[in-house]
Amino acid sequence: MSKTFYEIVLEHFDEAAEKIHLDHDCRVLMRQPERELTVSVPVRMDDGHLEMFTGYRIQHSSSRGPCKGGIRYHQDVNLDEVKALATLMTWKCALVNIPYGGAKGGVKVDPTKLSERELVRLTRRYTVMILPIIGPRKDIPAPDINTNEDTMGWMMDTVSMLQGQTVLDMFTGKPISLGGSLGRREATGRGVMICTLGLLKKFRRDVASTTIAVQGFGNVGSVAADLLAKKGCKIVAVSDVTGGYYNPKGLNVAEMIEHANRHPFKILEGYEADGVSRISNEELLTLDVDALLPCAMERQIVKRNAQDVRAKFIVSGANGPVSKDGEDILHDKGAIIVPDILANSGGVIVSYFEWVQDIQVFFWNEDQINQQLERLMNEAFEHVWEHAEKDKISMRAAAYTIALRRVARAIQQRRIFP
């Protein structure tokens, strides 16, 4: 029987904890989320009947600050997945050294089957159901898969109406007009771009001759592909839920983004261009390219297909796209993997910037945002790289040991209450 996503996350944790001889008490605390909330979300559908949905909000750790993490709407959302993602958020925030702990939320729903009015009602009721445990000093939600700035705007408005005042600092990833930050939508993809270029620089690879395949063409993958193409890389393949699109001479990423933006569900369905052939998502993962960016869902590269992956560089834009078994195989083949808690941390970094701006009610320009994002991403990348080189360990092991030490230090300094 295959391991669950949460079991895989704990495997990585246990491996790193052993390496640094983590204190027993810290280990016990860090293995278990602080709070798990499961809620029922009743929604009156457009035709008048009532549907029940299940929602979750998990707070893994508040040792270093308020909990932070996105909310996803997906038909496969479950408690195990949300616990895994909340745990990863703790390590991610600690790794890039921002004062947050990890959280995550989700609703088990296929949002493509709901009208916008039904989505608004779902969002408002879910917000009310998790309201007792969230807040600007407790837990600050953000967008994730199938949620966006509109979703965050609805959540912000719900809380504002209940409190009788405009609440800016309780959610991030909001529309600019509602206290959102410039650069937030592109931040995760920009961080993936920064890590990819950082890796190429370490190996003195020519950017213009670098071929890249991107799995996932949502908010993360499309932005990463677009920014890397603008830097001169050759994006030869991308994919989304409709399948893969491949051109060995390079794809017109900007044109593909325009096509997806015209589709009601922001997907590539129906895209055609000279020289572009259709491939499966599985085929994309095994293309003969320099760099592979899995930016879709977790557990895409596993024991079953890892041996067939030919890319030298793997930059994990998604959360948990490579299983531990898959990662071991890739390392044996000489692949270099930038772990998810580093590669996709751009989103939470700029969410932190948004929160700070909302608290101060003083907003930065986009150049300031991007400069500060690049500074923090590069600092984290260099720290992980140096630690991996010094101790002769993988980048994931290095990232985890850095993150675990920081969380453990906070726990030890605060002591256990009471």
392 is catalytic: no
Q: What are phi and psi of 87, to 5 degrees?
A: -65, -45
Q: What is the 3-state secondary structure (H, E, C) of the chain?
A: CCCCHHHHHHHHHHHHHHHCCCCHHHHHHHHCCCEEEEEEEEEECCCCCEEEEEEEEEECCCCCCCEEEEEEEECCCCHHHHHHHHHHHHHHHHHCCCCCEEEEEEEECCHHHCCHHHHHHHHHHHHHHHHHHCECCCEEEEECCCCCHHHHHHHHHHHHHHHCCCCCCCCCCCCHHHCCCCCCCCHHHHHHHHHHHHHHHHCCCCHHHCEEEEECCCHHHHHHHHHHHHCCCEEEEEEECCEEEECCCCCCHHHHHHHHHHCCCCCCCCCCCCCCEEECHHHHHCCCCCEEEECCCCCCECCCCHHHCCCCEEECCCCCCECHHHHHHHHHCCCEEECHHHHCCHHHHHHHHHHHHHHHCCCCCHHHHHHHHHHHHHHHHHHHHHHHHHHCCCHHHHHHHHHHHHHHHHHHHHCCCC
Counting every residue written for the chain, the total comes to 418
Q: Which of 15, 137, 6 is nearest to 404 (CA)?
A: 15
Residue 174 sits at the vertex; the CA angle it makes with 171 and 177, to the nearest 5 degrees, is 125
Active-site annotation holder among 83, 104, 108, 234 = 104
- Pairing status of strand 277-279 against strand 50-59: unpaired
Catalytic residues: 104
